[in-house]
Amino acid sequence: MTACTAPRVPADEPVLPAPAEQLPPAPPAKEATPPAQEVPAPTVPPPVKVEQPSGTWSESNAWSGLGGLFGKLGALGSGAIGTSVAKDKAAPPVKTDAVAGATQVTVYYATDRTYQLESNSYGWQPNRAAPYLSYGSVQVSIPEKRAPGELPLPPWYAILSSDNAQKYVLIQGATRLSRADFLATVKARIRAAPERHAAFIYIHGYSNSFDDAARRTAQMAVDLDIGALPVFYSWPSKGTLAGYEFDENAAEWTQTHLQAFLADFAEYSSATDIYIIAHSMGNRPMTVALANLLEQRPELRPLFKQVVLAAPDINADVFRDQIAPRFASLKLSATLYASANDKAMRASYNFADWDRIGDIRGPVVGIPGMELVDASAVVMNFMGHDYFASNRVLLTDIATMIKTGQRARNRGGLKGIPAQAPQYWAFP
């Protein structure tokens, strides 16, 4: 199994320049926040080639997988249909009024999936042509009468009621943006925030479609309620249970692009507080991309306040020997959630015959420089892999960590467990 190592860009593709080479020096992190009405677009330098998007899309929302985490095993009635969706206006960063009985959330994205003109959406194929990344926003409606952590999707047979926004999480439409417009839009949104200039970036895991990532990001934005602009990075997962080996290669291939995106976002978004939440296989490119970026651009380090590694599908020995020491040297505030009841982690172990760091099995060994939280005691669904976003206890712990900056010893609901140094934590 390919563990979390630095990806190799194929020789027949142009190499994406390192962020430091393609962007001018970032302003100091302590720079005073300019007025919200300043127009940010002119400060964003154009890349060598910028994809020029056109139009918007909207999607019907028939069944698309198991809870959004294990991909599209079928897609009855889920084709894109052309409708008119207005571009976002300056408004609160997270929530806007929408259909009665539902909250509309605007989430922003960057992806290196290929844009498919015939479906007017993004599929699983990687975009192998520079500049690799596409940008935009997605409007997602979240039912108001829904327990925190729930992500209700229309069943495949609900053809007539699949657009019931009071019952299901639905994608209502999306807008494609150029890189410059994307950065200008998120900059204006973050500056307009009444409390603090914050954003969280979600990086999905194996067997997730683009739509899966959009819905999960919107659900977390509502349930975490941390006052941070919701953004997701979607790498070209195949979105099927059988696509594990393809996804491993895709996760390796995307790392350079993710690193460039994180550099762009940190430098031009105006966010002073950036939080990263990565799930499952998405932790592979995230850990390498973030470590590379901050080692090359140490001036950006103060912007990254918290990093959440949820059920990371990474070779345990590679993580302890190669990843964790880099995070420790950067003094990143990082928290790793793992569980002994995660069936997806156990399946990954059986596939590779190598322990995964997201699978806790005794004796548990602490991770120097990183907080390890054992989530085995919390109530989980059948697969037990999406607990970071589907369980109220986990959502509360993550939200408290982000809102207050408190480490595990000071957060209620966790107990310290003696182990080989350092100590780790668990839910009772």
Query: Picking from 83-92, 122-131, 339-348, which range would have the lowest pLDDT averaged per residue?
Result: 83-92
User: What average pLDDT does this structure show over 259-288?
Assistant: 97
DSSP-assigned letter for residue 331: T
d(CA 279, CA 313): 8
Q: What 8-state DSSP symbol labels residue 66?
A: S
Specify the residue for token string 């409606």.
141
pLDDT at 347 over 80: no
pLDDT tens for 58-84 read 443 333 333 333 333 233 233 332 333
- Asked if the model's pLDDT at residue 99 lies above 50, the reply is yes
Q: Does the pLDDT of residue 345 top 80, yes or no?
A: no
Find the DSSP H helices in 202-310: 210-224, 244-253, 255-268, 283-296
pLDDT of residue 38: 35
Confidence of residue 404 (pLDDT cuts 50, 70, 90): very high
The percent of residues in the chain predicted with pLDDT above 90, rounded, is: 54
Average pLDDT, the chain: 79
- At residue 199, what is the residue type? A
- pLDDT at position 295, please? 98
Confidence of residue 50 (pLDDT cuts 50, 70, 90): very low
Q: Is the pTM of this model over 0.85?
A: no
pLDDT at position 191 over 80:
yes
d(CA 141, CA 102): 6
What Rg do the C-alpha atoms of the chain give, in angstroms?
20
Q: What is the mean pLDDT of residues 8-34?
A: 37
| pLDDT of 212 over the 50 cut | yes
Beta strand extents in 20-133 (DSSP E only): 56-59, 80-81, 95-97, 102-111, 113-116, 121-126
- pLDDT number for residue 361: 76
With 60 as the cut, is the pLDDT of residue 294 above it? yes
Structure confidence at residue 343 as a pLDDT band (50, 70, 90):
confident
